[in-house]
Amino acid sequence: MDEAEFAPFAENDRGISNPSAAPGIAELIDRRLTRRAALAGLLAAGAAGWTGLAPSPAGAAPSVAAGFEEVPQGADERDHLPPGYGGQVLLRWGDPLFPDSPAFDVAGQTASAQARQFGYNCDFVRFYPLPAGSDAADHGLLVVNHEYTIPALMFAGVAPGRAAARATTREQAAVEMAAVGASVVEVRRGRGGWEVVPGPYARRLTATTPMAVSGPAAGHRLLRTAADPAGTRVAGTFADCAGGGTPWGTVLIGEENFQAFFGGKPAADAALARYGVDGQGWYSWHRHDPRFDLAQEPNEPNRFGWVVEFDPYDPRSVPVKRTALGRFRHEGATIAVNPDGRIVAYQGDDERFEYVYKFVSTRPWNPADRAANRDLLDDGVLHVARFHDDGRLEWLPLVHGQGPLTAENGFPDQASVLIQARAAADRLGATPMDRPEDVEVCPATGRVYVTMTNNVRRGADRLDRANPRPANRHGHVIEMIPPEGPGGPDHAAAWGRWDLFLAAGRPGVDAGTSYHPGTTADGWLSCPDNLVFDPAGQLWVATDGALAAGVADGLWVTRTTGPERARTRRFYRAPIGAEVTGPCFTPDGRTLFLSVQHPGQVAGSHFAAPATRWPDFADGMPPRPSVIVVTKDDGGPIGG
């Protein structure tokens, strides 16, 4: 595909901003598997797949295969579920969220209307029960991220590709700014299915919503602008990809590809270049709003690329950018509670050859006092991962004054370490990865799973035995294993172990694939992205980019323990061009919420002639990113 035309958001294929010469994960997997193969003869040659899977955790209970008929591989304009399951479109781009929201008018869009409607390109989804603190499974709040816009599929007369996206009008750009961010929506399950409840909890975060900045970087000179000379208040959030939730009931959303929204010619700045901020921009925002013009506000990009925390139960609360968690292209932030009560936030930096991080709080959380946890994420230590070829995993602290993180090397204080987290990680010799995205913790074992979506930029000099091809087009999943402490897995430890969980691609066709040997012709996947564990302990894998392998993206399920470990089974197939994101279960496991992002986003697709008109299939209506609800016809748990 012509990537310049395919998106304006071609998932960072424009180049690589990491100059590090440290061994990449490809080289380390090569060494690791070569060593393992020498001992056990597990590695097959050529294009054949291999099944030398890491062992299940000791004492893990055997598990059974998910009970459903797999959805066949393929790609067409509709979405598909297994027999015995039903899908309902719950929220579509433009749907009213408030009692006074206007109806969606695709031919007469305005920024004021969009700010009261469900946003575009839904991603992360998280369910918060109502009442707060309960285990209710039929009434709650959905928090949904809105990552980016596709002008050619939003507005009549806009051509596909980035050149046209950079030329949208002031009015269209204002609609785009109102279409990103996040939505908070009250939902309830009734006799006729799930429905939206326009009520007091409804909220939209957009590119202009006032937000606070907290933590070590708050007020730093690199965060100060003409509109905010104190460097403590930011207008809005965007590029919000995945996220996470805290044990005290707040939500974390990750700002990912923020560099795409800035244009204008900046002064030569290696720090901006390290984040891919090159002055070109992928949108027209800088032509209409001076804060996105790098020539006028060179510090504005430093105010994005953070994790944002807010309280979904309080629509009046001010969202806060937590700078202690570091600045990079966050896929999200997944929380693990350590046995000593400290909070550990795992994070991936979604660009080729970037890093895996974790933040460890200084204080434990207080289950008895929600207010005491309000600023817990402002105090702690950010770490970056180094994957050793013998299976050891080392966590390197990003602390000013330690090792090379000194003023002489461009880090005069802790704030600069966090603002330039990528450069700090470079200095420490972290391991460059193949687009680390979502990270999830298995609640039963404490093992941690992180997706490497792909890395088409890897050259022949960096091949590995798990993916012996000149470009890792299909990605893989890494398993990180914390050491056992007195109370369970110690997520705060400086050392652990790692192994390969699966290597994606079509077995027997794509070299180096790694699955359970029972994986079927419909069960293989490509480009793993988002992960979630359901209440039964099954791991669900959503994909982004499988169309390059000739099939639509979708949702797969597997087990991480027992005889079905790494046997992936296709459960859902998205409409053509769509990425599947944000899988989320209700506490009883009987409802699955799923975002279907950018349906119809294929080369040449545009408003008047889209590749699909899902989900409305109405003349004159373009495809609409949507959140769907999946339930089982007999009311049982999903995948059971």
pLDDT-based confidence at 462, cuts 50/70/90? low
Residues with Cβ within 8 Å of residue 68, at least 6 apart in sequence: 82, 83, 84, 85, 569, 571, 639
Examine the pLDDT at 530 and tell me if it is beyond 60: yes
For the stretch 538-573, pLDDT in tens is: 999 999 999 989 999 999 999 999 999 999 999 999
Q: Using an 8 Å Cβ cutoff, are 451 and 436 in contact?
A: yes
Least confident of 97-106, 137-146, 466-475: 466-475
Please, is 102 exposed, middle or buried when counting C-beta atoms within 10 Å of its C-beta (0-12, 13-18, 19+)? Answer: middle
pLDDT-based confidence at 21, cuts 50/70/90? low
How high is the pLDDT of residue 30?
56
**Per the confidence metrics, is the pTM higher than 0.75?**
yes
Examine the pLDDT at 42 and tell me if it is beyond 80: no
For the stretch 72-108, pLDDT in tens is: 999 999 999 999 999 999 999 999 999 999 999 999 9
Examine the pLDDT at 29 and tell me if it is beyond 70: no
Give the separation between CA 324 and CA 414, rounded to whole angstroms.
9
Share the mean pLDDT of the chain. Answer: 90
Q: Using an 8 Å Cβ cutoff, are 598 and 579 in contact?
A: yes
How high is the pLDDT of residue 457?
84
Q: Which amino acid is located at 27 in the chain?
A: E
Q: Which amino acid is located at 506 in the chain?
A: R
For the stretch 190-249, pLDDT in tens is: 999 999 999 899 999 999 999 999 999 999 999 999 999 999 999 999 999 999 999 999
> Over the Cα atoms of the chain, what is R_g?
23
For the stretch 587-598, pLDDT in tens is: 999 999 999 999
Examine the pLDDT at 28 and tell me if it is beyond 80: no
Q: Using an 8 Å Cβ cutoff, are 631 and 590 in contact?
A: yes
Nearest residue to 332 (alpha-carbon basis) of 307, 302, 361:
307
- Edge to edge, the sheet with strand 554-558 lists 528-533, 539-543, 554-558, 569-573
Count the neighbouring beta carbons within 10 Å of the beta carbon of residue 267: 9
How high is the pLDDT of residue 91?
98
Give the separation between CA 422 and CA 274, rounded to whole angstroms.
7
pLDDT-based confidence at 395, cuts 50/70/90? very high
- Find the mean pLDDT for residues 476-486: 95
For residue 573, CA distances in Å to 78, 274, 321, 551, 616 come to 8, 36, 35, 9, 17
- Find the mean pLDDT for residues 612-639: 97
Examine the pLDDT at 466 and tell me if it is beyond 50: no
How high is the pLDDT of residue 10?
45
How high is the pLDDT of residue 17?
76
Examine the pLDDT at 26 and tell me if it is beyond 80: no
Examine the pLDDT at 344 and tell me if it is beyond 60: yes
| H or E stretch at 31 | helix 25-40
Give the separation between CA 41 and CA 408, rounded to whole angstroms.
49
Task: Give the tokens for residue 293.
Answer: 């013009």
Nearest residue to 556 (alpha-carbon basis) of 497, 477, 613:
477
